[in-house]
Structure 1
Amino acid sequence: MTKHGVVLGPEDAVVAAAARHFSFPPPRTGGDSCRKLAAQVDLGAAVMGSWLDSMKASSPRHRLMAPLAGAADAEHDDWMERHPSALERFEALAAAAKGKQVAVFLDYDGTLSPIVEDPDRAVMTDEMREAVRGVAARFPTAIVSGRCRDKVFGFVGLEELYYAGSHGMDIRGPTADPNNHGKPAAEFLPVIEEAYAALVGSVEASIPGAKVENNKFCLSVHFRCVEEAAWGALFERVRAVLRDYPGLRLTQGRKVLEVRPMIKWDKGKALEFLLDALGYAERSDVFPVYVGDDRTDEDAFKVLRSRGQGAGILVSRFPKETAASFSLRDPAEVRDFLRRLVDANAT
């Protein structure tokens, strides 16, 4: 593996990428997509059943309810064969990355910090922060999160990183000009603010445990503290609010419903944008490592698979469908993996 400063491509591209607040206009989808969404939210019971099943599948406790221990063990063993531990296979990863420019991309919740009941208390440990700091000293390193960029920066507190907030709709480099405030989804901000107020009034006010979080360019409706019996009512209330906002779409993450602008942008697009900004888009000697735990990270895993480069690493204790090639069990293993990256490139 190579050090952060040992880059074989044009240095000007890397310096320029590190010295600006990335501003870009993600392409909007056409009116057909808006009409499709409007049709989707009116499908009734079929949509409700599908979303409830998906909401349950995102809850780890449902994975613990396997009827037969032997069957669960067999499923886990088969899954681990296809997605082996990145710690146990670290030497193989290091060999694949040898002589290449490594770049590291990290989700935040569930990856650098544990999933907690109160999203505002998802604080990373000092040990994790030092591990991330060590990696960033050697490789270009980015945090790619569904959270607001400023909130993630407040959790992490490291100025030397790239931060891609709101699923990559708000990206800033480590030495960004503080006076440059590009807003790639600026036209949606008034609508998002209005939808936020409507969701707070409809969901938080009537569903105990529900929390609506404003991530600036997207909204998160957390249901990790909501009784399962109320999940259907929560979904119906979210769906009812969104009928008035055809420019917004509903997606799902880990125990969260997410409301985003109707634009073609996700963590996979953010990964591609960052690689391009770093001057790595057309290079074959680059080894991107993306670590994440959520459905939203699957878009980034798929980008790495399509490029045939690097390694996608899913953080999960339970077998689930993924485009990642490797796995880690929890944030503690992520910390150990990052430390090994540092140790392997200490000289």
Structure 2
Amino acid sequence: MLRVLELFSGIGGMHCALDLVDLNYEIIAAIDINPIANLVYSSNFPNVPIMNRTIEGIPLNQWEKWHADIWLMSPPCQPFTRQGKQEDLNDRRTNGFIYLMKTILPQLQSKPKYILLENVSGFEYSQAHQLLLNTLETYNYYYQQYLLSPIQFGIPNSRLRYYLIAKQEEKSIDIHSSLIQTRISNFERLYKKIRQQFPSKEFFLEENSFYENDQITNKCSHSSEILIDSNQLMLINDFLISNENSNFELDEKQLKRALHVCDIITCHAKRSFCFTKSYGKYFEGTGSLFRTLSNRIRYFTPQEIANLHCFPLNYHFPEQITIRQAYSLLGNSLNVFVVGVLLENLFERSST
């Protein structure tokens, strides 16, 4: 059984990806400093030991006791985002990552065999990225790097992210590739599972409406190559809880502010813009809005965004979590399907 450490665990996207891939695993600890994220995590995975503490506050002997086979991690992205100050390793939010690379991994006798890391696009230009590669090369990890977005696989959401998968080799590796790939193979098995989870839904097309023949362009995919046939593309409609939802409709004041700066899509759309943690708080650049069949404009619900992130259908937010908190947590989360594809490739599992 694979012993898994889920670091910077958030709401458990990595955990969901492990389930999607059907690996035989045990999560020996999920670690995050966000108590709200940990509450959501524990509500969905009550049997997982959760540590509400900083990574750098965990001593070396504890890491030895864990004897993990794989580290899954999604370190804080704020030090590397275009909207932030881009302070990189000078940002205190990188302290946990630095501790892993400079203290724990070098001293750990029982180093993890595998590592999977996710972060925001732009991480690849950072000093933290260089520290990561230098550390992996020093301790004989073979790694592959990717820039991938779910829209490449026909899932109608643009969420470009940097990913790295690494495997420690017994012998020293003389050559490492700095190439960052924008395509990946071995995803067909998981894609069939996602299509079963979110099957195509029939919808009524009014006489005066039109079918949105959205082109998936660089504007949305950020130059990522589409990896499936056009007839396999999924529609926004496949991920909706319902078309209408009056609780999430914009009022007249909000509409006046939003209409000129927002991306507004319908159930026929084949894409949506990246949902950020500020969705529902600000309009511009925080994610698409939805135009219903009755021509009302509304927000996507947290559950619908979780669907677009490919979380399982039984995933939920506890009642005490507010809508704003749910949006914020989802904006910091990841796409379960894409991480699952990377796990398929990390463990070289067959697509058949």
TM-score by length of 2: 0.33
Structure with greater proportional helix content: 1
Higher relative contact order (CA 8 A, sep 6+): 1
